[in-house]
Amino acid sequence: MKFDEAAVKAWVAGVLRGIYQPLPKEEIWEWAERTLRIPATENEELAGTLWSSSLTPYVRDLMRWVKRPGKGEFWIMKSSQVGFTMACLIIICWMIVHQPANTLYAINSVTEATRISKTRLKRWIEDNRLLDQVGEGSSDDLSNLTYTLRGMTVYLIGAHSAGAWKNKSIVLCILDELDEHEHLEGTGSTVNEARSRLKRPKNAKLIGFSTPGRMDHIHGLWEKGTQEEVHVPFPCCGHYQPLKWDALVFGTKEFRDLAGDYDREKIRLGAHFKCELCGKPFLDEQKRKAFQACRSVATNDKGNPAMRSLHLWDAYSPFVTFGDLALEWIDAQGDETLKEGFMRNRRGQRYERHGKELKHSDVLALRNPLYARGQLHFEPVLLAQLIDIQGDLQKTVKVAFDEKGDVFLIDWKETAYLEEAVDWAYDPVPGPADSEWIVTCGFIDEGHKMKEVREICLDHTPVFWPVKGRGDSQIQHLIATSEKWVRGDDYILTYHINEAQFKWQLLTLIADHKRRAEKGEMRLHLPHDVDEHDPIIAELCNERPENNPKTKKWEWKKKGPNDFWDCVKYGLALWSVMRPLIQREGATREYQLRPREEAVHH
């Protein structure tokens, strides 16, 4: 083996400094608990206190494994808040002090890699003066993405860049957010690339973790491995049991009121796991203590033993309670986007979408015998109007929502002038028992007439609001707002919606109509007398998602005019703004519904 002078020097420096020498057999997590203080950028409340593994005791196992000699891989299919990124940063700190060896940390983008470097890893290293401990080197040696240290280099890279991987020999490789890593020219994936970089060193270790997502790598890797689960001793009788979603109790009679509806407060406090041995509950408040004695148990006999794999979800997270999880799941029912988010980010499970092509018969199946076009057969909690501008024409749709969130297309038309479309909002819609209803709020697509739309919205405050569809990469939240100047001292709040999310929601509302009816989930309805040649039928079929085989990204293709489709899409977005308000304050006819800033961040 080649004599690595720098590594020896670093080791000698550490030994000479005595106190930084590892205690015999001291584990990484024990060393970290004894010496590492938490930087303010990780957690302001805990800043300056010693890190402890007691919040996330399951990371100890990963740390033990890293320190053990021999090659191996460790794949973690996880939810979003279980603390593995931090665990890996601590492992890198330990390597710097105790076992210098080239380390590479890859995440989905260079921006993200820079952020992890500047606001996280560097803070751990500098706040804890790790470079002083190893004898030489100073903060100047830490450039943004490459740290040249004694005996080792730490690389932080954006995973998709084939160039960034070139000519790097590494001993420890960490792949974070693996399912967001793009296709890599040459080797195809970052996993292949990492494996080829780790071929030679005899203690090479590969750690990969991700919430299951678009590129769908982590699930397959988890499947091939040991498929470990974390077992916890239940406080009732000491029985060791994994926390499984199916064993989370929150839907039984004790959690419902007399009418059979969920009692949210009871669920928040009392959702629990049931002991499979004695039947007693395991409550959230007992979590932290019980977790200290947790252990990993392999469930896949056929798995490759050099490939450990683990599934961990938010029931194990110190930041989420059992009750929060149950309520979030209940709230996600009937909303495909929320459900997908819950499955991936909370349960750490794969969720597949199907890009169905809609047919006229799918749309005609939405016809509801209870009502005719232009009429309301119930008292809506919200009557809204959406306007889409296409060239010199406006297409506009009135939609009504009931408490469950069912969407009823009440009426629609095409107008030659924007004013005409807006004025239509004040034409009453006849409802039950001679009642009359006018639109309480609406969105107008800014399209290519931004200025005109903003002005007309201002003139019709608080009924109409400008809206704009944005791509996934342009908008972080489902919905965001920004204030725009219109004229003089007048500003208006404009809404930016994540288009793809609402397109998916609309697609599933149409495609899954029958299944949703069976399960009592939120549905979309058309009046029974809609003409099958009405342009709205074709327009609701004119958008289709296609999965790009290379990027695994869904791309929406337009087959023809889709303005009514856009209107309904904006209607779903409007509902997601209004729903929290309506649920909180209840809706009466007199109550002026209008979007507010506070209701927006979803």
Please state, in angstroms and rounded to a whole number, the distance separating the CA atoms of residues 601 and 324: 18
Residue 236 within binding range of Zn ion, rule CB under 5 A: yes
Q: Do the Cβ atoms of 37 and 127 come closer than 8 Å?
A: yes
Among 8, 278, 364, 372, binds Zn ion (CB under 5 A): 278
Length of the chain: 602
Q: Which strands sit side by side in the sheet containing 281-283, from one edge to the other? A: 248-249, 272-274, 281-283
Residue 273 within binding range of Zn ion, rule CB under 5 A: no
Residue 55 within binding range of Zn ion, rule CB under 5 A: no
Q: Do the Cβ atoms of 276 and 282 come closer than 8 Å?
A: no
- Nearest approach in angstroms of CB 517 to Zn ion is 40
Q: Do the Cβ atoms of 307 and 224 come closer than 8 Å?
A: yes
- Residue 279, both tokens: 């039947």
- Omega before residue 100 within 30° of 0, cis: no
Please state, in angstroms and rounded to a whole number, the distance separating the CA atoms of residues 173 and 171: 7
- Nearest approach in angstroms of CB 242 to Zn ion is 14
Among 155, 222, 234, 504, binds Zn ion (CB under 5 A): 234
Strand partners, 147: 142, 154
**Which residues between 239 and 268 bind Zn ion (CB under 5 A)?**
239
In this chain, which stretch among 18-26, 220-228, 276-284, 383-391 interacts with Zn ion, using CB under 5 A?
276-284
In this chain, which stretch among 61-69, 152-160, 226-234, 380-388 interacts with Zn ion, using CB under 5 A?
226-234
Q: Which of 449, 432, 301 is CA-nearest to residue 377?
A: 432
- Nearest approach in angstroms of CB 267 to Zn ion is 22
- Nearest approach in angstroms of CB 320 to Zn ion is 23
Q: Do the Cβ atoms of 322 and 273 come closer than 8 Å?
A: yes
Residue 276 within binding range of Zn ion, rule CB under 5 A: no
Residue 332 within binding range of Zn ion, rule CB under 5 A: no
Tell me how far apart the terminal alpha carbons of the chain are, to the nearest angstrom: 56
- Nearest approach in angstroms of CB 287 to Zn ion is 15
Residue 275 within binding range of Zn ion, rule CB under 5 A: yes
- Nearest approach in angstroms of CB 276 to Zn ion is 8
Using CB under 5 A as the binding criterion, the count of chain residues that bind Zn ion stands at 8
Cβ-proximal residue to Zn ion, closest one? 275
In this chain, which stretch among 3-11, 76-84, 236-244, 497-505 interacts with Zn ion, using CB under 5 A?
236-244
The nearer residue to Zn ion, 67 or 272, going by C-beta atoms, is: 272
- Nearest approach in angstroms of CB 279 to Zn ion is 7
Pairing mode, if any, of strands 407-415 and 524-527? Answer: parallel
Instruction: Give the three-class secondary structure for 65.
Output: helix
Among 12, 15, 40, 277, binds Zn ion (CB under 5 A): 277
In this chain, which stretch among 193-201, 278-286, 366-374, 533-541 interacts with Zn ion, using CB under 5 A?
278-286
Instruction: Give the three-class secondary structure for 385.
Output: strand
The nearer residue to Zn ion, 195 or 280, going by C-beta atoms, is: 280
- Nearest approach in angstroms of CB 275 to Zn ion is 3
The nearer residue to Zn ion, 251 or 281, going by C-beta atoms, is: 281
In this chain, which stretch among 28-36, 164-172, 279-287, 299-307 interacts with Zn ion, using CB under 5 A?
279-287
Please state, in angstroms and rounded to a whole number, the distance separating the CA atoms of residues 9 and 11: 5
Angle ∠(8,13,16) on CA atoms, nearest 5:
125
Angle ∠(68,25,148) on CA atoms, nearest 5:
65
Residue 237 within binding range of Zn ion, rule CB under 5 A: yes
The nearer residue to Zn ion, 225 or 233, going by C-beta atoms, is: 233
- Nearest approach in angstroms of CB 234 to Zn ion is 5
In this chain, which stretch among 159-167, 237-245, 305-313, 401-409 interacts with Zn ion, using CB under 5 A?
237-245
Please state, in angstroms and rounded to a whole number, the distance separating the CA atoms of residues 65 and 587: 56
391 dihedral zone (left: phi>0; alpha: psi -120 to 50; beta)? left
In this chain, which stretch among 98-106, 275-283, 317-325, 426-434 interacts with Zn ion, using CB under 5 A?
275-283
The nearer residue to Zn ion, 12 or 278, going by C-beta atoms, is: 278
In this chain, which stretch among 149-157, 238-246, 422-430, 534-542 interacts with Zn ion, using CB under 5 A?
238-246
Please state, in angstroms and rounded to a whole number, the distance separating the CA atoms of residues 147 and 169: 15
CA max distance for the chain: 92
Please state, in angstroms and rounded to a whole number, the distance separating the CA atoms of residues 493 and 465: 7
Q: Which residues bind Zn ion (CB under 5 A)?
A: 234, 236-237, 239, 275, 277-278, 280
